[in-house]
Every structure is written in structure tokens, then in C-alpha cells.
Chains A and B, each alone.
Chain A
Amino acid sequence: MKRQRLFEGLGLKVYVALAISLALLLNVQFLNAQGSTFNVKGVVNDALGPVIGASVVEKNNTTNGTITDTNGNFSLKVSSNATLVISFIGYKTQEVPVAGRTSLTINIKEDTEMLDEVVVVGFGTQKKVNLTGAVGMTDSKALDSRPVTSATQALQGLIPGLQITQNNGSLESNPSINVRGTGTIGKGSKGDPLILIDGMEGDLNTINPQDIENVSVLKDAAASSIYGSRAPFGVILVTTKKGKAGKTQVNYNNSFRWNKPIRLASTMDSYTFATYFNDGCRNTPNRKDHFLEDHLDRIKKYQTGELTSSIPDNGNGYWADGYATANANVDWYDTIYREVTYSQEHNVSLSGGSEKLNYYLSFNYLDQGGLMEWGDEGKKRYNTTAKINAKLTDWAEVNYTMRWTRGNYVRPSSLTDGLYDNLGRQGWPTLPLYDPNGYLYSSPSPALQLSTGGDDRSESDNTYHQIAFILEPIKKWKTHVELNYHVNSSNRHWDTQVTYNHDVAGNPYPYGNTESTVHEEQSKNNYLNFNAYSEYSHTFAQKHNFHLMAGFQTENYKEQNFGVTRNGILIPALPEIDLTSGLDTNGKPVTPSANGARNDWATAGFFGRFNYDLDGRYLLEANLRYDGTSRFRRDNRWVLLPSVSVGWNIAREAFWEPLKEVVNMLKLRGSYGVLGNQNTNNWYQTYRTMSVKASNGDWLQNGMKTNTAEFPGLVSTSLTWEKIHTLNVGLDWGLFDNRLTGSFDCFIRDTRDMVGPTPEMPATLGTGVPNSNNTDLRTHGWELQVAWNDRLDNGLGYGVKFLLDDSRTKITRYPNNPTLSLDTYIEGRYINEIWGYETIGIAKTDQEMADHLASLPNGGQNNIPNSGYWAAGDIMYKDINGDRQISGGSNTLNDKGDKKLIGNSTPRYRFSLDLSADWKGFDFRAFFQGVMKRDYFQGSSYFWGIKGDFWWSQGLDQHVDYFRAKPSNDLPVNIDSYYPRPIFSSDKNYQTQTRYLQNAAYIRLKNVQLGYTLPKHITSKIGVSRLRIYLSGENLWTGTSLSTLFDPETIDGGKGGCVYPLSKTFSCGLSLTF
């Protein structure tokens, strides 16, 4: 206590000295504002007593302010005619004129109905209490201090029904964004939501996350139908910060980050690996040990240090074949990925201005390091934003926004999905990383190409211009005219360089990449968007509130790109097209390949909205949109999309009055709407196109290849719109003075007439049957959000927010699977079903297997392909259909043999839990996110180790737990193993089955942060209005029962479950506001 006081005293002195010198330097105003002021004291109370931490500010002088102490008291120096503004979260802001009084008692009232809370909706805003559609929202606070690389990542788990999946940790891959689950399985259409940044389509991955003010997600048709056929699967509305009238505010914040890979696999040690592969060989008919006695001996000796050479020489001046002879001990996963990588982010923003003219400027810089140990890998992002809002006259306002982003990304050319395969099959621990002379060595193995095989660099610039006029010539009649323009310009360069191994004498020779090439590509996309809409609101008899809006929207998008590739880099350090020879390694000319194209699309739409509410109790909203697109021809171009929603604010009824003390807000909502989907992959789907190619004919004429042209495939004569019907019912509530709030939504979304393959037609058609609108699906689900926020008398504020949602998709029409094959979609069944055998277990002895086979006299387990001889260590499958044999039947729903439905890989019950607390300047947040139910089956060699072909098998630490009836080298007997006995080139033990079905449910501590905001009375003395320092961590802990080989978030990414790992991030930084 003493010590603290001493510190405070000392600190105060220092601050005072600093403040005075600063003030003298800057000639700050507060010194000469002394004259007519006097001290006013007061207490702020609410219904329960004093309010702690309420803000008391002098009106029109926001720098002069304080907060109430633990007894609700405040004291402030103001002039005698000043007005105080008292505000506190959850309370109505109150203005009190001082009028010469020196002591005030102010009673503030809780804002029980949150009347002022406004939600951004399509073409406007709406009071939250009047909302009838399903809209989820979050504000910038939830995105604060997250050490992530994009706003998309930070949004994961913040809004129920908004599903964000990052299934690859690579800096190149962006998370996928989806609203309410599977939207379409159609051939050639997309089910992505529309992302609008300040009303204009934009890229959420490149926006400066700190520019975001709030995010709304329009989930049902009623909410999104105002955007028509561009938004059948929801809209994400991002609103960015804008300038506020008042003193110029400068904010600088930074974040320094250290990333570590999580759930990274590791290869077996070399001796165990050799033992494992030898055991696999012995179990496989007609295969001899791969690692012979002397080889094993060398491996062992290298491990113990008796031998230093990792690879013998073959006597001809070269190193011997790595796979056949090398004896190194390398963990390739550990070698390829770094232990830790460093990143940083800096952000500066300025805002200020007057009521007539205000501005917001921001600059952001992110430098994200990659986890790749070899070659160059990293990502940089630069953002600038400038926003000006100006009131031209009493009735006209203009807003202009310019946003510029640049993304730079570099990676080794060979860091593609193929690496995830190669890490396993070419990552034998016995292969040396360096040859005995110290040169990087490839047997082939992954490091050499990553290190010297060339780079892939890309740069993508986005420029957005937005200008909007808001005219209000007559009160309550507003017209908005907006013009938005977006230019994306990107270029990409990659080169593959010749890679070299070195012989025993140290002379290089080409190995791996034997050709060198340079590729350059450029693309430029232009997007123009014009919106004009007008709205009018009126109230009759003080309770009939009408609002009308009508408008027009058009978009035009043009893309153009070209690329060229040429062989023969002359100088490896200068990989440019100009410096290529156009020859391959043998000196033969290679025709450079070139490509280029331009495409465009356009839409036009008329829309209208009608809102009516009776005294805020009964709410009605109707939307209508008439949409046309360039993706259909005139006869089928226009589509009319209606939607309607209703709401009932039950808590505002007279009969509710007795309950109002407990339940302040209760609203029931319902909506229905129809939307079309114009987001087809083929922008020219109604056009027949001919494949015309130069010099590719197989029939030489005069010694030359000829040009060819082909019959244009048919386009269905009946091709039409895919339509989405959504029914939504929801309930919102606020209890105990809105401390307990929440909402529940339940929806059915039918996607009808998706384009799919058509059943066969008579052969006389003479060509492929064109796809037609013939597939339907139904996605149904629900979303729950519950939050509790409170502040205790001792000043401790805390909050808990829990989100939970679920969605499932059932195929309701699918004519293209008449046999009901289990390999594809089946009408009437949920998607992502996993069909497989039930496992009895691994036979521990040959006798156990013999007994099991004896119970299956009609063919044993021999119907399983390549089954061969069944013995101890093999899987015993259960005879489910009782036909005394194991078979998969014809793999159809009606003849599935012993297969049954063992799981479903759809993620169910996505949830998040957000815990936050603050007390006397300290703030804490822990954010968990996860999936409660998901099944997963992986048939790759990454999961199984030895599986399939010898050269595609691998050995990771987890695979050591394989069946051994007798000890093998250093490995003891293991008859209670997880994995069956390893066998090459046979799938008999690796069938989809219950024993190896993974439970991919998980909970992850996505973010935990601890911050401290220095007391205002200290910081204000050095001219800083807010200073916060913080520690923040990302992905710190994961709870899952999934095999440690996999990360529950990335099981869909990469290859066979092997993927660039996600990372765990530790960060620290500060946020400074002047």
C-alpha cells in the first residue's frame, strides 16, 4: 500500500512536470481557460443508488470530463453557464445545465428499451426494436486487439449463423464465409453471401480490420431481399468508422506477434521408421524387407553418433540412392516449418472536424511472417482510408470515401498443395537434409525445391471510390444517390529455377527442377455500382408509422487478364521474361505459352420497401425487388422477388405491464421470402460456345498441325433461375433491465431448381445432355444468442455471451442418382453422410480371426477387395445384415451389404463463448469457439501410415501404435494397438469403419487478452486521452478427442488431412489516443 502511494506520488510529480513542459511547448489551451470557471460537485444516481464510472463531460468541450467514483461522486471545473452531459452504457444520456449551482444530484434512467440502438440493414438503418428480419450483428469491440491477419478471421464465432472456416494455415488461403450452411450443390452456381463494405461489394480479407465500426449479417430472405438476386444466401454488411465532430482525435496502436505452428505432425525416428516399413513389407505377400540388416545397422549407428555420414557414396562419384541406402534421422515436418515466426501490425487513424465537415483517415500496415523455414514466405498488407462527410446546405450532404489496399504475398514456387503429399511420401526420416559435404540434398525430398526452386510473388491492389449525395429537400423525404467504383489490379510472377544436387566431389548437377521458367500474369477488374433510392416516413395520429423506400441499383463488372510463360532463365538471380532464352535444358526451342481473356457481367434492379408499425407494437415490412441480369437472355432475364416479415413487440402491450419489471423486451418475428440466384460460375451460361484451337489437330496437313473447331455443346432450352425460399421465425428478449438479452431464430431455406446433371437421353441426341434445373435441397436450422452484461457496485463490469447454431441440409430432389449409389447425393437424405462397416476389433491372435471367419461361412471377409489372407492384427468386421459374410453389396442404399450409416461430417452445433470483465482500468476477455458434433473419416496414408502403394506410404509418430504380435527390433509386442498390422497395396483393413471414425468436435480458446487502460487523470496530464497496453493470445488451447494428426479446423484442407498448420499467436501492443 505504502509502496503504491509512493509510486503514485512520484508518478504524479513526473506527469505534472511532463504535462507542464508539454503545455508550455504546445501552448495548450487549458491554461488560459481558467478565468470564469468554478468547481461543480455532484452525485450520479440511478434507481438503485450511486452509479460508478458514469461519464460526466462538459457539452461542446469533450476534453473536459471525468467519471464518477465508487460513491457516484464527481467534481469538475466548468464555467457557470456550462451544460454537463452524463452518459453511461445502458442508460439514457442526460444533459444538465449547471446554471451556477455548485452541487448537483443527477438521476439517470436506464435505457430499458434500447430505443436508440440502431442496426444497419440493406439501404438504411433500422431501430433494433423495430427489426423484423433475422439480422445478426457485432461491433468493433469484439474485433479489438485480435492478432489475426484479416477481419474475416476475427469475425469467426461472433455472429450466430455466420460460419467462417479457415481450413488451411497458409498465408495464401483466405477463410471461407458462409451464412447458415449449405446453400447450393448445383453445378455451376455459388452459395456465398454478398459482402458489402459501406454499401459496396468489397473484399473482407483485405479491408483494414480496425476501420470496421460494426458488422451486420442479414440472414433471412426478408432482410436480404432488398439486394435481390445478388444476395440469395445472406448479406454481410460492414460499416466503417467515420469522422466525428469535435476535437481532432489521433489513435495509434500496434501489435507485435509471435506465431508458433500448432498440432504439427512429426515423423518417426529413422530406426522406428525402418522397423515399421520392414514390418509392412513382411505383412505384404511377395515383398521383401526394404531395410536390410546392414542398412538398419547404419541407421542405428548414425542415431548413436558412431557414424557421421548420412548417405553412402555409390562408387561412381555420386551419393547412393537415398531411399535405398540413406541412414539420416530427420523429422521433415520440424525441418520444413519454423519453430516461431514474427509479425507486426501498426495502425494510425485521425478523425475530427465540425458538424458541417468531418473526416476520418487511417493507415494500416501488417507484416505477417510465414512458417516456412526454406525460401521466402510472407505477407504484407497496406491500407489507407480517407472519408469526408460534408453538409453542403441544410438539405444536402455529400460523403466521399477512398479506400486503397495493397497485398503482397510471396512463397516458394513449390509450396503448393503437392507439398502436403510430398511431406509424407518423400519425408522419410532416413533421407538426409544435407549431404556429407553440407549441401542441401534431395533424394527427392521437399527442402531443396522449397529453398532454391524459385519464388511466387503476387501483388494485389484494390482502390475503392465511393461518393454519395443525400438530399432532404422536404423533412423526412431523403434521397440517396451513390456512385461506387472499385478497381482491382493484380500481378503475379513466378519462376521455377533449376535445382542442383551435388556429387561427392561437391560439383553441382541439375536435380528435381531441371527446367527453368518464368511466368508473369496481370489482371485488372473494374466494378461500377450506381444506387439511387428515396425514402419517406410519416406518422399518422401519433401511432401509425409508415416508411416507404424505392430505388434502383445497377452493377457492371469487367475483368481482363493475360499471362505468359517462357522457358530458359539466363541468370538465376534475374528471373525476368526479357532474360529468358526460350530454350529448354537440351537447347530445344519451347513455344512460350500465353493466355488472355476478358469477361463481364451486369445487373440492374428496382426495389422497394414498405414499413408500417402501430405504436411500435405491431410491425410489418414488405420488400419487392425486380431484378435483371446479363447471365440470362431477354426472355428469361427478369425476376420478381417478394418478401414479407412481421413482428410483435409483446412487451409493449398493456397486458404485459405487470411483467415489464422482469421482461423489458420481448418480440416475436416471422418472415418469408423468395430470392433468385444469379451467381452462376459461368457468366455466359445461356450461350453455346465452340472450342476453337490453333495448331492442335492430330492429322498433319503439309507437315503442319491444323487448326480445329468443335461442335458447341448444348445449352438446355429450359435453363432458368435457381430460387431460394426462406421461412424464418424468431424471438428476441431482454430481461432484468436488459442485462440478460438474447434471440432465437429458426429457419427453413429451400433451394429449388438448382442446375444439375440431367438423366440420360436417347443416343440420337448425339452429344452430351445439357445440365438443367432439376435439383432441390432444404437447409434447416436454428440460432441462439444469449448474453448477460452487468456491473457490480464495486465497479466490476462483466459479460458472458454464448452463441449456438445448427444447420443441416437434406437433398429433396436429385434425379441423377437412380441407383441410389452411396457415393453421391441421394434424394431424401442428409448430405455428408458417412457409410461404413462396424468394426468388432483387431484380431489379437490368429485363432481369434479364425473363429471370427468361422462365424461367416458364406464367404468370410473375402468380398473386401485385395483381402488375401486374414490373420492376427487384421480388422474383424461385423456382419450387420446377417448373410454370414462381409460385403459392401452394390454400395447402394438398397443393397449396402454390411455397411451402415456411421456418421456425418457436417459440423453441427457451432458455438462460441465470450467472457469479458473489466475493473478499474483492467480488462480481460476470453473467447472460445468450437463445434459440438462432427464425424470425420480420413482414408489417406497421412492417417493410416502404411496404406496403398509403397511409395505413397509414410510413417509418423502416431503410426508407431500398430499391431505387433512379436517384438520388432526395438519395438515391443503391441497387441492392444490402435492401428491394425500394416500391409502395403491392400485396403482390407482400411475400409471406412466405426473404429477409425474420428470425433471432430472441438473447443478452442481463440483469443484471450488482458489489457490495462491507464487512469485518465494521469494520461490526460500528458495530453493523452486514452492509453491501453495489452497482451493477447490466439489459438492458445484446443480441446478435442480428434487424432493428434489433425487440427479440427483444417480437416477439410490440404491433402488427406495434412495441411499447412494453423498457428498459436502471442502478441502485445498498445493503443494510444490523443
Chain B
Amino acid sequence: MKIKYMKSLAMLVFSGALLTSCNDYLDKEPKSYVTPENYLNTADQLASYANKLYTAILPSHGNWSYGLFGNDNQTDNQTGMNYDDKYVKGKWKVPLSGGNWSFGNINNINYFFEQVMPKYEAGKLSGDQKAIRHYIGEMHFFRALEYFKRYKAIGDFPIIKTPLIDNLSVLVEASKRFPRNQVARFILEDLDKVEKTVKLTP
């Protein structure tokens, strides 16, 4: 009888061991995709991330349009192909989405800080340290600029400093607007950091 128990115990230990080794065996990380864990570790990777945001945040030219020059549409200088809803009674409505109530760029910047800052503080980022500081500074500048746009257009605006997850209550909580003076302070905070980090000449 005892032997039987011993046997089942051995079996149990064996299958436990098998399960653990199975788990190691079943850990398959993507080999041909970049995961966040192995990116944003070097100066040029920070640069690549910043580069993508240039066209999204700074005034830029897109395809199939005349870009910056179109900004003068509907002024006394020029008119566009289509009329501006502002000048037609009943057509000027608040859109359901988009406009300045958008958080895409802010989220992208916050994600950068979430990933990079701990590594930076731990000294784990490789490459030219000056350049690293510069790109961190660029990100602070981008966030300040984004918030300045919101400040101009809306005033009171949610201040979000970290990337958020897909949880309704968290997002609702984060949607609360902060008074505009706090938004202004937040912009200045970012700009202070820009001053300390960004190289003015390459």
C-alpha cells in the first residue's frame, strides 16, 4: 500500500516538474516583431520614436494636399475647395469625436516617458548620453506643445501623465478636466525640463 502511495506521490512530483518545464518550453517570444521590452534602449531608438511624432505634432505636409499652405484657407487670403461650416447657419456643430479632444499624441508621449525614464534613471540606456537627454527633452517639448494647443482651444483639460489601459472606470476618471491654470503650470513644468536637456545646436 505504502509503495502505491509513494508511486502516486512520485507521479505527482514528476507531472509537476513536467508542467514547469512545459511552461519554459511554451514561452515563445516573437522573433520577427519588435516588442516594447527590447526597444527604446538606445539613443537612436529614442530618435526613431521621436521622428514618428514630428509629422504628427509639428506643422507638416501630408500626401495629396498642399499642407501648410492650406492653413490659410477660409481667411481673407484664400478659400478652399469646400466652404467652411462656420459661415453657414446651423452647420457649425461640435463633432462627435476628434478635434482637440484627442489624446493620441499625448498617449504616445506618455508611453515614451513610462518606458524610457526608469531606464534612464537606472542608467540603462546606451548611446550618446547627451543625445539621450536631448530626445527626452524633445518629448517634453512635444507634450508642452500638445497641451498648449489644448490650452488655446479648450482651456480646462485633463492632465494625463501616464499611458492608460482599456478600463472604463479608469478612463472616465482620467477624463476629468483640470482648471486651466493647472494646465498652464503643467506646460511650464515640461518646458523647464526642455530647457535643461535640449541641445540647441546639433
Question: What residues of chain A have their CB less than 8 Å away from a CB belonging to chain B?
Answer: 552, 554, 597-604, 606, 628-630, 634, 637, 683-684, 687-692, 697-699, 701, 706-712, 714, 716-717, 758, 761-767, 769-770, 772
Tell me if B39 and A709 are in contact (CB < 8 A). Answer: yes
Q: Which residues of A contact B39 (CB under 8 A)?
A: 690, 692, 709
Tell me if B48 and A709 are in contact (CB < 8 A). Answer: yes
Tell me if B52 and A709 are in contact (CB < 8 A). Answer: yes
Tell me if A698 and B60 are in contact (CB < 8 A). Answer: yes
B178 at the interface (CB under 8 A from A): no
Q: Which residues of A contact B15 (CB under 8 A)?
A: 606
Tell me if A630 and B175 are in contact (CB < 8 A). Answer: no
Q: How far is the CB of B29 from chain A (nearest CB, A)?
A: 7
Select one of A698, A706, A762 contacting B47, CB under 8 A: A706
B32 at the interface (CB under 8 A from A): yes
Tell me if B107 and A766 are in contact (CB < 8 A). Answer: yes
Q: How far is the CA of A326 from the CA of B18 in the complex (A)?
A: 76
Tell me if A599 and B30 are in contact (CB < 8 A). Answer: yes
Q: Give the interface segment out of B77-85, B98-106, B125-133.
A: B98-106
Tell me if A770 and B52 are in contact (CB < 8 A). Answer: no
Contact of A770 with B48 at beta-carbon distance under 8 Å, contacts A598-B32, A600-B28 already known: no
Q: Which residues of B contact A597 (CB under 8 A)?
A: 31-32
Tell me if A604 and B26 are in contact (CB < 8 A). Answer: yes
B33 at the interface (CB under 8 A from A): yes
For residue B22, which residue of chain A has the nearest CB?
Answer: A604
Tell me if A600 and B31 are in contact (CB < 8 A). Answer: yes
Tell me if A689 and B33 are in contact (CB < 8 A). Answer: yes
Select one of B25, B27, B103, B168 contacting A763, CB under 8 A: B103
Select one of A603, A683, A688, A692 contacting B48, CB under 8 A: A692
Contact of A697 with B33 at beta-carbon distance under 8 Å, contacts A628-B23, A630-B28 already known: no
Residue of A552, A604, A688, A709 ringed by the most chain B CB atoms within 10 A: A709
Q: How far is the CB of B26 from chain A (nearest CB, A)?
A: 5
Q: How far is the CA of A687 from the CA of B51 in the complex (A)?
A: 24
For residue B58, which residue of chain A has the nearest CB?
Answer: A699
Tell me if A697 and B52 are in contact (CB < 8 A). Answer: yes
26 examples of A-B residue contacts, CB within 8 angstroms: A598-B32, A600-B28, A637-B23, A683-B28, A684-B28, A689-B30, A690-B39, A692-B34, A697-B54, A697-B55, A707-B47, A709-B34, A709-B40, A709-B45, A709-B49, A711-B107, A714-B165, A761-B171, A762-B171, A762-B172, A762-B175, A763-B103, A764-B174, A764-B175, A765-B103, A766-B105
B156 at the interface (CB under 8 A from A): no
Tell me if A766 and B35 are in contact (CB < 8 A). Answer: no
15 further A-B pairs in the complex, CB-CB below 8 A; given A689-B35, A764-B158, A770-B166: A554-B25, A599-B30, A599-B31, A634-B23, A684-B29, A684-B30, A687-B30, A706-B51, A708-B51, A709-B39, A709-B49, A762-B171, A766-B103, A766-B163, A769-B166
Q: How far is the CB of B51 from chain A (nearest CB, A)?
A: 4
Q: How far is the CA of A687 from the CA of B172 in the complex (A)?
A: 26
Tell me if B26 and A629 are in contact (CB < 8 A). Answer: yes
B164 at the interface (CB under 8 A from A): yes
Q: How far is the CA of A974 from the CA of B47 in the complex (A)?
A: 71
Tell me if B28 and A699 are in contact (CB < 8 A). Answer: no
Q: How far is the CA of A598 from the CA of B28 in the complex (A)?
A: 12
Q: Which residues of A contact B29 (CB under 8 A)?
A: 684, 687
Q: Which residues of B contact A770 (CB under 8 A)?
A: 166
Contact of A761 with B51 at beta-carbon distance under 8 Å, contacts A601-B28, A690-B36, A766-B106 already known: no
Contact of A628 with B164 at beta-carbon distance under 8 Å, contacts A602-B28, A689-B35, A763-B101 already known: no
Q: How far is the CB of B110 from chain A (nearest CB, A)?
A: 8
B65 at the interface (CB under 8 A from A): no
Q: How far is the CA of A711 from the CA of B164 in the complex (A)?
A: 13
Q: Which residues of B contact A599 (CB under 8 A)?
A: 30-32
B184 at the interface (CB under 8 A from A): no
Q: How far is the CB of A692 from chain B (nearest CB, A)?
A: 5
Among residues 80 to 135 in chain B, which have CB atoms less than 8 Å away from a CB atom of chain A? 97, 101-108, 110-111
Q: How large is the interface on B (under 10, 10 to 19, 20 to 34, 35 or more residues)?
A: 35 or more
Tell me if B60 and A690 are in contact (CB < 8 A). Answer: no
Contact of A764 with B164 at beta-carbon distance under 8 Å, contacts A601-B28, A699-B54, A706-B47 already known: yes
Tell me if A628 and B51 are in contact (CB < 8 A). Answer: no
Q: How far is the CB of A101 from chain B (nearest CB, A)?
A: 58
For residue A760, which residue of chain B has the nearest CB?
Answer: B97
Tell me if B171 and A687 are in contact (CB < 8 A). Answer: no
Tell me if B107 and A767 are in contact (CB < 8 A). Answer: yes
Q: How far is the CA of A628 from the CA of B19 in the complex (A)?
A: 9
Contact of A630 with B30 at beta-carbon distance under 8 Å, contacts A763-B102, A765-B103 already known: no
Question: What residues of chain B have their CB less than 8 Å away from a CB belonging to chain A?
Answer: 15, 18, 22-23, 25-36, 39-40, 44-45, 47-49, 51-52, 54-55, 58, 60-61, 97, 101-108, 110-111, 158, 160, 163-168, 171-172, 174-175
Q: Which residues of A contact B23 (CB under 8 A)?
A: 628, 634, 637
Contact of A717 with B171 at beta-carbon distance under 8 Å, contacts A689-B34, A766-B103 already known: no
For residue B46, which residue of chain A has the nearest CB?
Answer: A709
Q: Which residues of B contact A712 (CB under 8 A)?
A: 35-36
For residue B163, which residue of chain A has the nearest CB?
Answer: A766
Q: How far is the CB of A913 from chain B (nearest CB, A)?
A: 48
For residue A698, which residue of chain B has the nearest CB?
Answer: B55
Q: How far is the CA of A687 from the CA of B28 in the complex (A)?
A: 10
Q: Which residues of A contact B51 (CB under 8 A)?
A: 697, 699, 701, 706-709
Q: Which residues of A contact B172 (CB under 8 A)?
A: 762
Q: How far is the CA of A764 from the CA of B33 in the complex (A)?
A: 27
Tell me if B36 and A688 are in contact (CB < 8 A). Answer: yes
Q: Which residues of A contact B101 (CB under 8 A)?
A: 763
Tell me if A758 and B26 are in contact (CB < 8 A). Answer: no
Q: How far is the CB of A601 from chain B (nearest CB, A)?
A: 6
Q: How far is the CA of A256 from the CA of B30 in the complex (A)?
A: 49
Q: How far is the CB of B94 from chain A (nearest CB, A)?
A: 13
Q: Which residues of B contact A701 (CB under 8 A)?
A: 51
Tell me if B26 and A684 are in contact (CB < 8 A). Answer: no
Tell me if B25 and A602 are in contact (CB < 8 A). Answer: yes
Q: How far is the CA of A714 from the CA of B58 in the complex (A)?
A: 25
Select one of A598, A707, A714, A716 contacting B44, CB under 8 A: A707
Q: How far is the CA of A604 from the CA of B23 in the complex (A)?
A: 9
Tell me if B31 and A763 are in contact (CB < 8 A). Answer: no
Q: Which residues of B contact A637 (CB under 8 A)?
A: 23, 26
Tell me if B45 and A766 are in contact (CB < 8 A). Answer: no
Q: How far is the CB of A366 from chain B (nearest CB, A)?
A: 35
Select one of B49, B158, B163, B168 contacting A761, CB under 8 A: B168
Q: How far is the CB of A638 from chain B (nearest CB, A)?
A: 8
Q: How far is the CB of A106 from chain B (nearest CB, A)?
A: 53
Q: Which residues of B contact A603 (CB under 8 A)?
A: 26
Tell me if A628 and B171 are in contact (CB < 8 A). Answer: no
Tell me if B35 and A707 are in contact (CB < 8 A). Answer: no
Q: Which residues of A contact B164 (CB under 8 A)?
A: 764-766
Q: How far is the CA of A599 from the CA of B33 in the complex (A)?
A: 9
Q: Which residues of A contact B102 (CB under 8 A)?
A: 763, 766
Q: Which residues of B contact A710 (CB under 8 A)?
A: 49, 52, 108
Contact of A717 with B160 at beta-carbon distance under 8 Å, contacts A598-B32, A763-B101, A766-B104 already known: no
Q: How far is the CA of A691 from the CA of B30 in the complex (A)?
A: 13
Q: How far is the CA of A598 from the CA of B31 in the complex (A)?
A: 6
Q: Which residues of A contact B165 (CB under 8 A)?
A: 714, 717
Tell me if B107 and A765 are in contact (CB < 8 A). Answer: yes
